[in-house]
Structure 1
Amino acid sequence: MLKGLGGLGQIGDMAKMMKAAQEMQDRLAAAQAGLDAITVEGQAGAGLVKVTASARGEIRSVRIDPSIFREEDREMVEDLILAAIRDASARAAEAMAAEMRKATEGLPLPPGMKLPF
C-alpha cells in the first residue's frame, strides 16, 4: 500500500548532503576571499632579493638590496629574482592549502579529496 514511502529517509539524507555542500561552498568562498589578505614573502641570496605575494600567488612587490647592483652581477641578480619569485609562489601555495584545510575541516569529504577541485 505505501511501498513507495520507503525512500523518504533517502530524501532526508539528500537534504543533509545538500546542506553540507552549501556549507562547504560558503566556507570555501570565505577562505578564498581571505587569501588576498594573507601575505607571504619569498627570498633568495640570503635576503638580498625579496618578493612579496598574496596567498593567491599575486606578486605584490620585489625588493632588491642595492649592494648587488653591479653590471657584472646582472645575471646573478636575475637568477636571484627568479628564485625569490619561485619561493614566494611555493609559500603562497602552502598558505592556500592551509586555508582550504581549515575551510573544509569537519566536513564529511571522501578520503583523498582535494579542494578546490
Structure 2
Amino acid sequence: MKDIMGLMKQAKKMQEKMETAKAKVADLRAEGVSGGGMVRITLSGEGHMQSINIDPAMIIADEAEILEDLIIAAYHDAKVKIDQKQSETMQSALGDMGGDFQLPEGMKLPF
C-alpha cells in the first residue's frame, strides 16, 4: 500500500511539472529568417505563426514566386527552432524529476 501511495505522489508531482513545462512551451518564441533577413517569421511555442515581416523591396509583382519560396523557407527555419526549444524545455522538466530520462527517438512532448 505504501508503494502505491508513493507512486501516486510521484505521478502527481510529474503531472505538475508537465503542466509547468507546457506553460513554458506556450511562452516560447522562435524567429525564422530567409533571403538574408528579407523575410522573417515568428512562431509561438505551439507552432502558431505570430508575425511575418517582409522587406518592402521583396514586394514586386513579377517576383511573387520568389517571395512565396522565401516565406516557406522562413517558416521552416522557425519551425526547426521552435521544435528544438520545445524539446529542450520538456527534457529539462523531465530531467528535474531525477534519472537520465530520454524520450524514444521521434517522440515529442507534450504527447
Is this a same-fold pair by TM over 0.5?
A: yes
Greater C-alpha Rg: 1
Q: Which runs of 5+ in 2 are unaligned?
A: none
> How many Å separate the matches in 2 of 1:92 and 1:98?
10
> TM-score, normalised on structure 1?
0.80
> TM-score, normalised on structure 2?
0.84
1:68 aligns with 2:58: yes
Q: 1:13: Cα distance to partner?
A: 2.1
Letter in 2 for 1:13: D
**Conserved? CA contact 2:32–2:81, under 8 Å:** yes
Q: 1:77: Cα distance to partner?
A: 0.3
Corresponding position of 2:10: 20
Superposition pairs for residues 84-103 of structure 1, below 5 Å? 84-103=74-93
> How many Å separate the matches in 2 of 1:86 and 1:113?
23
Sequence identity percentage: 32
> How many Å separate the matches in 2 of 1:63 and 1:27?
35
> How many Å separate the matches in 1 of 2:34 and 2:50?
16
Change (3 A) 1:56 1:109: farther
Q: 1:35: Cα distance to partner?
A: 2.0
**Conserved? CA contact 2:94–2:101, under 8 Å:** no
Query: RMSD of the TM alignment (CA)?
Result: 1.9
**Conserved? CA contact 1:49–1:65, under 8 Å:** yes
1:56 aligns with 2:46: yes
State the 4+ residue runs in structure 1 displaced beyond 3 angstroms.
Answer: 108-115
**Conserved? CA contact 1:55–1:91, under 8 Å:** no
